[in-house]
């Protein structure tokens, strides 16, 4: 079962956060064919992510949502120290090291475009806009690794209905914060910045599309997209844009960063699909953070019952 009601969740399924002060290099010399993206240093980081002290804030009033998988959650340290956030470096361990001094207060998110009531939201307003829910989602990255995380937020549609999209709005464009002074490694990212992405309006309005302000009961760590981001559990991770500063409702399909950088490898939709391989590696299997063996990738990351109808009649190989 994909969706599990909160009362059924067993305490044994809640993985405690851990700070690992010492690690033995127990896999020194280990050789295995893990694929290019998981080889060498990245494989070490995947199986034994480094630990760092964090400084996040507890979020109050969070309720457990019925949107939650019953799979074992990824330990906090693994989920927060094996990240993609190219503005802070391209190695998976870079963001946790380089984002610690990232300033996320004060923060505003501008929402405009084809809406009747454009406005700017402060973080205080975003936190109080709707009841905060903990949703335990699968999260699948295009490099064929995955995790299970208790994200905190509410459906993006809660924000959208306040600005009242007009009939002309067919897509939603998102933009991340970018400041070369705070993110000097962005110049080496190899992708155009600021980071932009987008969704069809019906995708953005789907209940699973989560405007996210926290994880594991706390506010988002800087390396995980503080202070507010999107989580789209049926799409590859790079669609879940981090550190949002602008949301624009538009008529035409907006540009998206990875498609601009390499349209052959990264399409606009980027739905998790085990039948459509990345040109450089298979998407049929994935490795869960902290696990040694791979597991089969699920269509739409296991959310097919909820989202398949959004793509009825579409050629999912062409619209990848």
Q: What is the pLDDT of residues 187-219, one digit of tens each?
A: 999 999 999 999 999 999 999 999 999 999 999
What gap in Å lies between CA 177 and CA 242, rounded to an integer?
Answer: 8
Least confident span in 25-39, 142-156, 287-301:
25-39
Please check whether residue 306 is in contact with residue 208, taking contact to mean a CB–CB distance below 8 angstroms: yes
What gap in Å lies between CA 177 and CA 212, rounded to an integer?
Answer: 15
pLDDT of residue 56: 59
Mean pLDDT of 221-249: 98
SS3 170: coil
Both tokens of residue 243?
């550190």
What gap in Å lies between CA 1 and CA 303, rounded to an integer?
Answer: 10
Cα-based torsion angle of the residue sequence 124, 233, 193, 158 in order, rounded to the nearest 10 degrees: -30
SS3 32: coil
Query: Which tens digits make up the pLDDT trace of 93-146?
Result: 999 999 999 999 999 999 999 999 999 999 999 999 999 999 999 999 999 999
The yes-or-no verdict on residue 18 having pLDDT over 90 is no
Least confident span in 42-51, 101-110, 136-145, 220-229:
42-51
What gap in Å lies between CA 224 and CA 151, rounded to an integer?
Answer: 11
> H-helix or E-strand containing 304?
helix 304-307
Least confident span in 47-61, 163-177, 279-293:
47-61
Cα 39 vs. chain centroid, distance in angstroms? 23
Mean pLDDT of 11-31: 37
- Please, what is the Cα angle at 48 between 46 and 49, to 5 degrees? 70
Both tokens of residue 76?
């906090």
- The pLDDT confidence band at residue 47, using thresholds 50, 70 and 90, is low
Instruction: Give the domain 6-311 fold.
Output: Sulfite Oxidase; Chain A, domain 2 (3.90.420)
The yes-or-no verdict on residue 21 having pLDDT over 50 is no
pLDDT of residue 38: 42
In 262-318, beta strands by DSSP E: 285-288, 295-296
What gap in Å lies between CA 242 and CA 59, rounded to an integer?
Answer: 19
- Locate all alpha helices (DSSP H) within 101-256, ordered by sequence: 123-128, 156-163, 201-204
């Amino acid at each position: 079962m994909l969706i599990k009601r909160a009362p059924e969740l067993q305490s044994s399924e809640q993985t405690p956060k851990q700070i690992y002060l010492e690690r033995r290099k127990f896999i020194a010399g280990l050789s295995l064919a893990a694929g290019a993206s998981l080889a060498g240093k990245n494989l070490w980081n995947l199986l034994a992510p480094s630990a760092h002290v964090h400084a996040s804030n507890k979020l109050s009033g969070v309720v457990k949502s019925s949107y939650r998988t019953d799979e074992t959650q990824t330990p906090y340290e693994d989920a927060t120290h094996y990240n993609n956030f190219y503005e802070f470096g391209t190695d998976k361990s870079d963001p946790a090291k380089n984002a610690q001094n990232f300033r996320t207060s004060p923060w505003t998110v501008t929402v405009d475009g084809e809406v009747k009531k454009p406005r700017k939201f402060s973080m205080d307003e975003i936190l109080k806009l709707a009841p905060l829910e903990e949703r335990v989602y699968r999260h699948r990255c295009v490099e064929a690794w995955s995790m299970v995380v208790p994200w905190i937020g509410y459906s993006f549609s809660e924000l959208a209905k306040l600005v009242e999209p007009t009939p002309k709005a067919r897509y939603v464009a998102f933009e991340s914060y970018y400041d070369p002074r705070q993110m000097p490694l962005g110049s080496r990212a190899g992708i155009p910045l600021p980071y932009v992405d987008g969704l069809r309006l019906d995708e953005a309005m789907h209940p699973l599309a989560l405007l996210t302000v926290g994880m594991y009961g706390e506010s988002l760590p800087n390396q995980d997209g503080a202070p507010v981001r999107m989580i789209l559990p049926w799409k590859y991770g790079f669609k879940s844009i981090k550190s949002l500063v602008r949301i624009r409702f538009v008529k035409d399909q907006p540009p998206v960063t990875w498609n601009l950088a390499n349209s052959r490898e990264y399409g606009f939709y980027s739905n998790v699909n085990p039948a459509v391989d990345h040109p450089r590696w298979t998407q049929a299997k994935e490795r869960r953070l902290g696990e040694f063996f791979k597991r089969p990738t699920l269509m739409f990351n296991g959310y097919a019952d909820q989202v398949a109808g959004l793509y009825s009649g579409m050629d999912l190989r062409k619209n990848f």
